[in-house]
A = this chain, B = another copy of it.
Amino acid sequence: MFESASLKHHVDKAVYKREAAKLRQGLLDAQYALKEHGRFPVLILIAGVEGAGKSETVNLLNEWMDPRHIHTSAFFDPSDEERERPSLWRFWRALPPKGRIGIFFGAWHTMPILNRVMGEIGEGEFAREIGEIQRFEKMLSDEGVLLLKYWFHLSRGQQRKRIKELAGDPKTRWRVADRDLEYLKLYKKFVKVCDPFLRKTSTGECPWIVVPGADPRHRTLTVARHLLASMRERLDEKPLKRVPDRSPPMPAPSDRLNVLRALDLDQPMTRAEYEKELEKWQGRLNVASRDPRLAKTAVVAVFEGNDAAGKGGAIRRVTSALDARCYANVSIAAPSEDERAQPYLWRFWRHLPRNGRFTFFDRSWYGRVLVERVEGFCSEADWQRAYTEINDFEGAMLRHGTVVVKFWLSVSKEEQFRRFKAREKVSFKRFKITAEDWRNRKKWDAYETAVCDMVDRTSTSLAPWTLVEANNKYHARIKVLKTLCRALEDRLDNVRKAGAGKRGRKK
């Protein structure tokens, strides 16, 4: 990857001056065109070796364009807030919205590369990280992000020279950290890790652009020209009327049986039994939630289900067992303007809890493969790719150590009808039943198919779907409480075992 960039590139002052003036105007024009009618965000990753002019380039882009519409994020050591969430969270929260430019100084590639160079992770873990990054960047590209990845390169000799110059000058000495000198020693290893990394994470849509870093004028022109050409290409592109669909159709059911119909929705439970069980499980949940070992674990619970299946009621029975300071309820309806300006999953990432906290989602990211699929709010290609994206999203939570529990509350068509009618009769419940509910009901079968596909494609061993028979609300609420409680208790057991294991190893 570094053949061209290792040459002694050079641009004359006169050439630079002439060219720079034009590029500057062009970039400013492009930035305003993007802001006016750009239907996409621009995300610029700045990466590469130390001393290759990364910060100079970032400063320059901010100088040449209107810095009010550029958001630059530098990712050094993560904050507490960030450390207590999945590692991608800090990048999601910094994503630029449509019409804006975001510059990421370091990004999701930084830690895997460093960890591999330092020998903290093996080839296997590195291969897994590369796979995650491939899929993450494909998702950004599929969501319309113009992702431009610049890798600033210096040959070993150039890097040594540059760092010595900085260190020798009192005015710039502060910029040379001990770490930089250490990296210089690791140069060969670094290149050996980065070269295949850049290759594997370079795709047609998101290639790495290697920028020779030694000559400032050459470096600036390279980035500015490419950035301008890329923005112009996308700005001038006529939007396609029809999104090309490469996805084969989902299989049609071949008999009447499916995971929902296989349920016996009418589970017996009397009020008396319910009250006894409720007390028992709320008590156990409360004890588990206050266990100090849970302080290092976040809990995410997803509630999906038919309209009027009792999602809200079930959530209330859970939260009433918890300290109000430790949980948040997130109710998902139509996305806000801010949310529409971001990739689909952004509005869920933003609500992920810190360690020690619970978040209950009343409807969730599964909307993409349920309501959006059935109602045609997104293209078929969009909801089909969403299964992989959702698995990766939850995979990121699980790797962070988050407990993920997912409920589908299922009522029969007849029971739903009874509840709709009942709601219409009780004045204070009337707000809960709308024309839309009746409309959705007409698409019962399409929703059923969507739910079954969702269960098949997103029920993983660590984040399985729990299907809850909900014709009897008592049964449904107890099953939810029990499942959640046991998931927490399992985690506590594992923490204890892992702790014991660690202590064991220390001997």
Residues A460 and B196 in contact, CB atoms below 8 Å apart: yes
Residues of B within 8 A of A230 (CB): 248-249
The reply to whether the CB of A413 lies closer than 8 angstroms to some CB of chain B is no
Known: A10-B257, A204-B247, A248-B230. A461 touches B195 (CB 8 A): yes
Within 8 Å by CB of A205, from B247, B251, B257, lies B247
Known: A1-B457, A192-B461, A202-B457. A7 touches B257 (CB 8 A): yes
CA distance A183 to B249 in the complex (A): 32
CA distance A381 to B230 in the complex (A): 14
Residues of B within 8 A of A1 (CB): 456-457, 459
CA distance A22 to B227 in the complex (A): 55
Residues A4 and B244 in contact, CB atoms below 8 Å apart: no
The reply to whether the CB of A280 lies closer than 8 angstroms to some CB of chain B is no
Residues of B within 8 A of A127 (CB): 124, 127-128, 131
Q: Pick the most buried of A131, A229, A245, A254: most chain B CB atoms within 10 A of its CB.
A: A254
The reply to whether the CB of A70 lies closer than 8 angstroms to some CB of chain B is no
Residues of B within 8 A of A222 (CB): 251-252, 254
Residues A456 and B4 in contact, CB atoms below 8 Å apart: yes
The reply to whether the CB of A34 lies closer than 8 angstroms to some CB of chain B is no
Residues A205 and B246 in contact, CB atoms below 8 Å apart: yes
Known: A221-B254, A237-B245, A254-B225. A259 touches B4 (CB 8 A): yes
Residues of B within 8 A of A200 (CB): 131, 388, 391
0 or 1 for each of A448-483: is its CB under 8 Å from B? (1 = yes): 000010011101110001000000000000000000
Residues B204 and A255 in contact, CB atoms below 8 Å apart: no
Known: A124-B128, A202-B387, A381-B204. A4 touches B258 (CB 8 A): yes
Residues B3 and A259 in contact, CB atoms below 8 Å apart: yes
Residues B244 and A240 in contact, CB atoms below 8 Å apart: yes
The reply to whether the CB of A184 lies closer than 8 angstroms to some CB of chain B is no
CA distance A222 to B122 in the complex (A): 42
Known: A388-B203, A456-B3. A9 touches B247 (CB 8 A): no
The reply to whether the CB of A134 lies closer than 8 angstroms to some CB of chain B is yes
Residues of B within 8 A of A124 (CB): 122-128
CA distance A477 to B318 in the complex (A): 79
Within 8 Å by CB of A233, from B148, B242, B249, B254, lies B249
Measured between C-beta atoms, what is the minimum distance from A62 to chain B in Å? 20
Measured between C-beta atoms, what is the minimum distance from A24 to chain B in Å? 15
0 or 1 for each of A185-226: is its CB under 8 Å from B? (1 = yes): 000000010011001101111010111000100110110011
CA distance A384 to B233 in the complex (A): 15
0 or 1 for each of A233-244: is its CB under 8 Å from B? (1 = yes): 110010010101
Measured between C-beta atoms, what is the minimum distance from A123 to chain B in Å? 6
The reply to whether the CB of A340 lies closer than 8 angstroms to some CB of chain B is no
Instruction: Give 3 closest A-B pairs by Cβ, nearest first.
Output: A124-B124, A204-B385, A204-B384
